[in-house]
Chains A and B, each alone.
Chain A
Amino acid sequence: MAEKTISPVGNRFRTYFSKPANIITVVFLVILVLTVVLPLSTLLLGSFKINGNQEAVYVSTFDNPVEDGDFTFHHWVELLTSKEYHYALTAFWEPLYQSTLMALLACFVAVLFGGVVAWFITRSDLPFKKFLSTVFVFPYIMPSWSMAMFWENFFKNTSINAGKGMLEALTGICVPESMVYGLFPCAMALGLHYAPFAYILIGGILRNMDANLEEAATVLKASRFKILYRVTLPIVMPALVSTVLLVFSSSISSFTVPFFLNKSSIKGGNNFIAISIQMRSLLNNGMTKGQGYVLAIILMLFSIAILMANNKITGSRKSFTTVTGKSGQVSLVKLGKARKPLAVFLLILVAFFAIVPLLSFAAESLLEVPGDFSTLTLRYWFSAEPFEGSNKGDTVGILRSAFMWSALGRSLLLSLIVAGVAGTFGILIGYAVARKRGSRAASMVSNLAFLPYLIPSMSFGAVYLALSYTKGFTWLDGSFLILIMVGSIKFMPFASRTGTSAMLQLSGEIEEAAIVIGVPWIRRMTKILFPIQKASFISGYLLPFISCMRELSLFVLLVPSFKTLATSMLQEYSRTGLSQSSNAVNLLIIIVVLVIQFIVNKLTGASIDKGVGGN
């Protein structure tokens, strides 16, 4: 019998696929091309064609009539260069410039606030760490517009004809209009909302950083600044860049915050039209959809530029390994006399931005007349009778509404499944990227996994909506599965970022030791790698969970009204003028997330804040 020979190509193929990291890379490359590249190409194509009859009417001229589906450069030319009434300048260039400033300021606030608090909690002997760490993530659990709403309610004042806010009521102080409406408050609201990102990502690394590294530098007589610049900063740099990337991308495309905090008169000079407001306006109007796609693509290109900077830092051969097989130790900086004053200052600051908004939501849900405490009522929570005199039909207290409970149940189930899928995908991608660091395929998977974050939520939902109307896929229309699909893909970036950061921290020698003694891959993952970086990985599950619980735009086109989600109910209440009920739902969502965090903490011993150092 002739001996079987294996060709060199077959041999290479077998060798390649004998490594789990390679299999993961190839599998995810296929998945991500199908779920990310195809939707992206829809956006790109949309920017070069006539999108529907309404747009055809808008683009057509007497000499050049166009039809639905025709190829055109019109959208690009119009938005970027039209001089008619300074259109390109006022609809694109100026909003882009101002929104970039806003996003950069938001990044600065988030990194500074989140990073400083993370340092104090992980590297100093500050008291009340557990409390600070627990409540610091609250602003991220709230929808971003909640922070904007709180900001307005706190700072608005009668000197700018905006009604009396909390600050004026308590102190009589009236801040200038530029602090209440416009670019600055938008940046602050976004920065504070995303500060927990910086806290989680930077804190996770600081916590695991071996103090021997800094001590060695101290022994070598390096100055404090040099230690910070040459030791600490390079180690936290991947997390820092990831934070900037996430915050910048989220801030520049945030619609609700600029929409909410942009109420001042044009003459006042604080009115600014954010690029996201322009994008939403263009995308929502059937006549200018193509221009909306152009804007979405340009915003993505901005974020891709930061993504490339991120890759340059994490993709180089510099090592950021902080968890090795050797023993490590964390020595805490002693704050001395500043310990207590600093703790009190941080407690007040964190409580102000994390707890006071919650109290204000609770209060608003209990007041018949906003701001008037003589009109306290529990009916928006408990009334079983339809609200008296209300035009809302069968609206009852949210805790008595079967519709509300089923919506909350669906939100919870969806978020749990999405977190499970996105979190696991994130760990696997992190493993492949770390093990195949520097390879083109790994870098492609890493980048593709992040791209969904850059696609505007509503456009992403619209692409999947179109898919559900395509022959062969109509079974997806209105299904729960399509919500799981879009949620898992859209929120995967959180998990893949945390997964990659955590895997990059792990020294290869740990897994290598297990390989030498023949431990199979699945056991290496579950018994060695996962337990070591459990805190970070759990963050990779919790972040998609939280994001999914409070997401609205992504699902709004896909969720059937009779099988609605909690956030859809919140929007519906808000739209119909029932701000008490919408505040109550908002609070309920936050409470549910906190309860889940608590349960996860009890069951696994891990949580977002524990990952940083809250224990």
Chain B
Amino acid sequence: MQDLTFNADSLTSGIKKALAAFEKKYEWAAGRVAYNSKKGSEYQPKLIAAQKANAYIADFVMIQDASFLKNAMLDTNFLLSYDPSDADIKIADEDKNPLVGVTFNKVFIYDNTTVGTEQLKNVWQMTGVDGVSLKGLHNVSYQNPLGEDINMSFLIMLTSPSSCERLKAAYKSYFGKDYEEDPNYVNIGYKFVKEFIQNVGYWHSSDSSEIKGLKNYAADGRIIFAGLCKLKDYEYYKDTYKDTDDYYTKTVTAGGWNNQIEGFNGFVYNMWTLIPVTAKLPYTACLFIKYIHSAEGYKAGWGGILGYYSSNSNIPSVDGDPALAEWKKLCVVEDVQYIDQSYASVVKFINMALAGK
């Protein structure tokens, strides 16, 4: 009988670690698993090619980009969900199909020896305009949305009805008056996006590098929009807490993040865990999915790190990091339907703002 290897494709190296632990737990899997790492934009063409040819690509895939998932993979029935729920794994119904594996957030991060929560209290500060009680800020660093899909999705989502409500409330608080519709903009979200883009002080090319160099920007008081999980890259500067139990939460206190900003505190988006219809080892894939949704498997992959949240509500976020449910209230949440429906128009608007028009 042919000896098959269980192939797991994913952008996140957490899968690599979880797979290693999976091998240890199940002896029969030892030496018969392989982790393949691919950036989303580089992996999507492979998935599309496999879908069109109805060919084998892997036994398990973990991907982000809600619009791609829905239109190119789910609507074509190429990727399937498995529900691993049991007594220990509690997953909300809306996260079951497609099955959410891990949720991430991008938030406003800074060196908290110089910035702190006092500087950034309202999102309208990031348009550079002074409010009634607070000053505009000009040192926000944002990754170019033309090179980073998540940042583009975030800007698109800011024009959604739910974001507009948040922005209107923050506007009133910041400027001391109600927002009056501006004929130059479709809604308040468009106004915010344009003024935000034109006020960005620095367009960074990599969240990881930016967070790693956070200390260099202390004097500048730079506020960086980046994945909260990237704070793990800041650890290299802080050997002090290396041997303590709460290594991550201690070390990352040097890099602060704000979750008390009026308006919104960042962006929440998912990474889904799915099984291709052409998988050769679908039952192993189910077992592996169950494993990474269990406390043991999640700990092996992402345990103890800020900014990663399991869809299993029995697994809490790390000490010092608010729970996912809390983040969802505080942040703009990715909504594939809104992105699909508004993409054509909003992206043109964003291009215009990026060109300084």
Chain A residues with CB under 8 Å of chain B are 52-54, 56-58, 82, 84-87, 89-91, 94, 158, 161-164, 259-260, 262-267, 271, 273, 277-278, 280-281, 284-288, 368-371, 388-394, 462, 465-466, 468-471, 474, 477, 556-557, 560-562, 571-572, 574-577, 579
Chain A contacts for B242, CB-based, 8 A: 388-389
Known interface pairs A286-B68, A286-B72, A371-B216. Does A262 touch B144 (Cβ–Cβ under 8 Å)? Answer: yes
Say whether A91 contacts B348, CB under 8 Å.
Answer: yes
Which of A161, A577, A579 is the one whose CB lies under 8 Å from B202? A161
Whether a CB of chain A sits under 8 angstroms from the CB of B27 is: no
Which of B232, B340, B349 is the one whose CB lies under 8 Å from A85? B349
What is the chain A residue whose CB lies nearest that of B241? A389
Whole-angstrom distance from the CB of A148 to the nearest CB of chain B? 10
Say whether B55 contacts A469, CB under 8 Å.
Answer: yes
Say whether B220 contacts A161, CB under 8 Å.
Answer: yes
What is the chain B residue whose CB lies nearest that of A471? B53
Whole-angstrom distance from the CB of A3 to the nearest CB of chain B? 57
Chain B window 330-350, contacts with chain A (Cβ cutoff 8 Å), 1 for yes, 0 for no: 000000000010011101110
Whether a CB of chain A sits under 8 angstroms from the CB of B1 is: no
| Range of interface residues on B (Cβ < 8 Å) | 35 or more
Query: In the bound complex, what is the Cα–Cα distance between A90 and B48 (angstroms)?
Result: 30
Say whether B348 contacts A85, CB under 8 Å.
Answer: yes
Say whether A52 contacts B213, CB under 8 Å.
Answer: no
Whole-angstrom distance from the CB of A56 to the nearest CB of chain B? 8
What is the chain B residue whose CB lies nearest that of A158? B219
What is the chain B residue whose CB lies nearest that of A288? B347
Would you give 18 A-B contacts (Cβ < 8 Å), ordered by A? A53-B75, A57-B340, A263-B205, A266-B197, A266-B356, A273-B354, A281-B147, A286-B71, A388-B242, A393-B17, A469-B50, A471-B53, A474-B53, A474-B55, A561-B38, A562-B34, A577-B209, A577-B212
* Nearest 7 A/B pairs, CB to CB: A577-B208, A561-B36, A577-B233, A90-B355, A284-B41, A469-B53, A54-B71
Chain B window 24-40, contacts with chain A (Cβ cutoff 8 Å), 1 for yes, 0 for no: 00000000001111110
What is the chain A residue whose CB lies nearest that of B203? A263
Chain B contacts for A52, CB-based, 8 A: 48, 71-72
Query: In the bound complex, what is the Cα–Cα distance between A393 and B303 (angstroms)?
Result: 12
Say whether A263 contacts B37, CB under 8 Å.
Answer: no
What is the chain A residue whose CB lies nearest that of B52? A469
Within 59-107 of B, Cβ neighbours of A (below 8 Å) are at: 67-68, 71-72, 75-76
Say whether A267 contacts B147, CB under 8 Å.
Answer: no
Whether a CB of chain A sits under 8 angstroms from the CB of B222 is: yes
Whether a CB of chain A sits under 8 angstroms from the CB of B45 is: yes
Whether a CB of chain A sits under 8 angstroms from the CB of B352 is: yes
Whole-angstrom distance from the CB of B191 to the nearest CB of chain A? 14
Say whether A286 contacts B44, CB under 8 Å.
Answer: yes
Known interface pairs A263-B204, A369-B236. Does A84 touch B348 (Cβ–Cβ under 8 Å)? Answer: yes
Whether a CB of chain A sits under 8 angstroms from the CB of B175 is: no
What is the chain B residue whose CB lies nearest that of A473? B53
Chain A contacts for B237, CB-based, 8 A: 368-369
Which of A85, A264, A280, A462 is the one whose CB lies under 8 Å from B45? A462
What is the chain B residue whose CB lies nearest that of A261? B205
What is the chain A residue whose CB lies nearest that of B19? A393
Query: In the bound complex, what is the Cα–Cα distance between A89 and B9 (angstroms)?
Result: 39
What is the chain A residue whose CB lies nearest that of B9? A561
Whether a CB of chain A sits under 8 angstroms from the CB of B296 is: no
What is the chain B residue whose CB lies nearest that of A82? B348
Whether a CB of chain A sits under 8 angstroms from the CB of B313 is: no
Whether a CB of chain A sits under 8 angstroms from the CB of B136 is: no
Whole-angstrom distance from the CB of A386 to the nearest CB of chain B? 11
Query: In the bound complex, what is the Cα–Cα distance between A391 and B46 (angstroms)?
Result: 27
Known interface pairs A85-B348, A163-B217, A557-B42. Does A284 touch B354 (Cβ–Cβ under 8 Å)? Answer: no
Say whether A87 contacts B352, CB under 8 Å.
Answer: yes
Whether a CB of chain A sits under 8 angstroms from the CB of B324 is: no
Whole-angstrom distance from the CB of A77 to the nearest CB of chain B? 13
Whether a CB of chain A sits under 8 angstroms from the CB of B188 is: no
Chain A contacts for B232, CB-based, 8 A: 391
Chain B contacts for A286, CB-based, 8 A: 44, 48, 67-68, 71-72
Say whether B202 contacts A263, CB under 8 Å.
Answer: yes
